[in-house]
Amino acid sequence: MSLEHRASIVKAIRTIRETSEQHGLKVSHTNACRCHDSSFEILSSSQTIPPAGINQLIFAISSLVQTVVDESRNRMFYALDQGAEIGQQDADGLFGPRVVDAFPDAAFDIAEAGRCLSFNLWTAAVMHTMRAQEIGLKALARYVGVEWSDNWNRVLNEIEARLREVRRSRDGAEAEEWASEAGTYLRFVKNAWRNQSMHSVSRYDAREARDIFASTKSFMTHLAEKLRSDGPAESDAPPADEI
């Protein structure tokens, strides 16, 4: 048996050991640890492996495989789509650290929305996305001096009206540009909230869920330029009567 073959066997057993530990297959993990140690001892020999050693190796690996199969029967595993973003299941990876830093209370729902997208749970993804979005909307309402209430339609309309009042001549070109862009995002937000709030039994498909998620990411990223959950920086906070 070549060194490459020996190394591949040890590597495969090590992979089973690590995977079984990751998924909580305790019996399989214990068996994999034992199999790894005994196999490594047999395969690390510089001499030709005797028949007894080969038989011992085959028995150990066969026993390990059977243990994994038996224990896995009591577990349910899901196969994700090939295009699933399995490497970006945390809020930092999904919306970026700037958004998470500005709106830490949204991190949970951002991450949950990402997981729901991976599992094709489109309606659940929208619900978590909207929960995260609400945190940004509340910060924006405070910024423009609008009192938040359960009447979301009134709140969103008032926010939009205040953003339209920002003027270059009075507030500066940067403030006007930021407010104009925030208003553009807000129009999409209003449509998403209208659909969700008026139809409690709404169902969303893949395109709708991904569109809402992507638009919310852009919206929250834009808000994070000036706002935080606990309010804007002092230098960015405009007096309510000047907006």
Same domain, 104 and 211: yes
Q: Based on the domain organization, do 22 and 127 belong to the same domain?
A: no
pTM: 0.65
Name the band, by pLDDT with cuts 50, 70 and 90, for residue 197: very low
pLDDT of residue 193: 66
The DSSP secondary structure of 28-41, one letter per residue, reads: HHHHHHHHHHHHHH
**Does 78 reside within a domain?**
no
Within this chain, do residues 125 and 222 fall inside the same structural domain, yes or no?
Answer: yes
Per mean pLDDT, which of 83-97, 108-122, 160-174, 185-199 is the most reliable? Answer: 108-122
Assess if residue 85 is contained within a domain: no
pLDDT of residue 26: 92
130 and 225 fall within a common domain:
yes
Per the CB < 8 A criterion, the answer to whether 139 and 131 are in contact is no
Name the band, by pLDDT with cuts 50, 70 and 90, for residue 6.
confident
The yes-or-no verdict on residue 38 having pLDDT over 80 is yes
Domain boundary among 39, 72, 105: 72
Whether residues 187 and 232 fall in one domain? yes
Mean of all residue pLDDT scores within the chain: 82
CATH at residue 118? 1.20.120
Q: What is the pLDDT of residue 243?
A: 40
Whether 176 maps to a domain, the answer reads yes
Residue 23 lies in a domain: yes
CA atoms of 111 and 116, how far apart (whole Å)? 9
Q: Are residues 198 and 238 in the same domain?
A: yes
> Is 20 within a domain?
yes
Q: What is the pLDDT of residue 231?
A: 61
Mean pLDDT of 74-86: 67
pLDDT-based confidence at residue 54 (cuts at 50, 70, 90): confident
Are residues 113 and 230 both part of a single domain?
yes
User: Is 80 a member of any domain?
Assistant: no
- Together in a domain, 50 and 155: no
- Please report, rounded to a whole number, the percentage of residues in the chain having pLDDT higher than 70: 84
Tell me, yes or no, whether 79 lies in a domain. Answer: no
| Predicted local confidence at residue 2, as pLDDT | 81
59 pLDDT band, cuts 50/70/90, is: very high
Query: Would 151 be classed as within a structural domain?
Result: yes
Same domain, 61 and 8: yes
Domain that holds residue 65: 3-72
Q: Which of 149-163, 165-179, 229-243 has the lowest mean pLDDT?
A: 229-243
Q: How many domains does the chain have?
A: 2
C-alpha to C-alpha distance for 40 and 118, rounded to whole angstroms = 38
Are 220 and 116 contained in the same domain? yes
Both 26 and 140 in one domain: the answer is no
Q: CA-CA distance, 108 to 91, in Å (whole number)? A: 7
111 and 226 share one domain: yes
CA distance 86 to 68: 24
